[in-house]
Amino acid sequence: MQARPSLPIGLFDSGMGGLTVLKALATTLPSEHLLYLGDTARLPYGTKGRETIIRYTLAAAGKLVARGVKMLVIACNTATANALPVVQAKFAPLPVLGVVEPGARAAVQASVSGRIVVIGTEATIRSDVYAKAIHALRPDAITSAKACTLFVSMAEEGMMQGRLVEDICRYYLDDIFGAEARTPKPDTMILGCTHFPLLKTALERVVGGDVVVVDPAATVATGVREELIALDLINTEKGEGTSHFMTTDNQERFARTGSLFLGRTLTVEEIELVDL
């Protein structure tokens, strides 16, 4: 199918985290139609092996392509880190964008000292993809990384603030930002999972106000806009764009948790149950 400006942008995530990217896209490109798929039946991807992540990501991307989209956005750091080149090759010439490179670029621009830490899922951290992207932009950067496995479940449960949330954040990050940290602290931290922005307030309290916390979602939205302009695929139809949501499991839970990510009430009637 040849891409047309009026077709939607397809977004995929293993769960609800990619809704932070959808929200940024709706703000940056209000006339664009958005088609979102959250593979909640297989969540989390971050603890899976690379081949499994690639298989799941290809299936989800195929579902979106079959619906008719003009661009794919892999709004999941784990899927981007492990499957982006495979998806790009499979569905060429359809443009396929991920979230890692925009996040790395934003962090490099924000960091003064060049000390940057990435927090994400096990699979994202294991891939080392952020460090590679950062060093490609700033070879002298000093990078570190930390897998924060529980953060995905916390975000999906709507656990965003409070003493327990902050205690769990400290459990993961005290060796980097705590009083007993052995090396100079990073001045920039990348939220290397699209679920993590829901914990941003708690994380900022834990790491301190002098650390820049980078949420790649806004940078991804800017990258999507630039790509659409370059390909002459900006939707020029009058009126506000629409958003359609699909999930592979439990529409009620998707609506409840998705409302937290979007900052508005999401109803079950807006969500389609699909099978991959």
Q: Most distant CA pair in the chain: distance in Å?
A: 57
**Which of 25, 53, 60, 76 is an active site residue?**
76
User: Comparing C-alpha atoms, which of 190, 187, 168, 167 is closest to residue 177?
Assistant: 187
**Token digits for 98?**
């991920």
The letter for the amino acid at 261 is F
**Which of 26, 53, 193, 228 is an active site residue?**
193
Judge whether 148 counts as a catalytic residue: no
The letter for the amino acid at 217 is A
Task: Characterize 45-68 residue by residue with b for buried, 16 or more Cβ atoms within 10 angstroms of its Cβ, and e for exposed.
Answer: bbebeeeebbbbbbbbbebbbebe
Residues in the chain: 276
* Element spanning 162, H or E: none
User: Comparing C-alpha atoms, which of 22, 13, 12, 17 is closest to residue 198?
Assistant: 17
**Token digits for 42?**
């297989």
Residue spans of beta strands (DSSP E) within the chain = 9-13, 34-38, 71-74, 96-97, 115-120, 142-147, 188-191, 212-214, 243-247, 271-273
Judge whether 169 counts as a catalytic residue: no
The letter for the amino acid at 225 is R
The sign of the torsion formed by the CA atoms of 241, 44, 129, 131 equals positive
- Active site (catalytic) residues: 76, 193
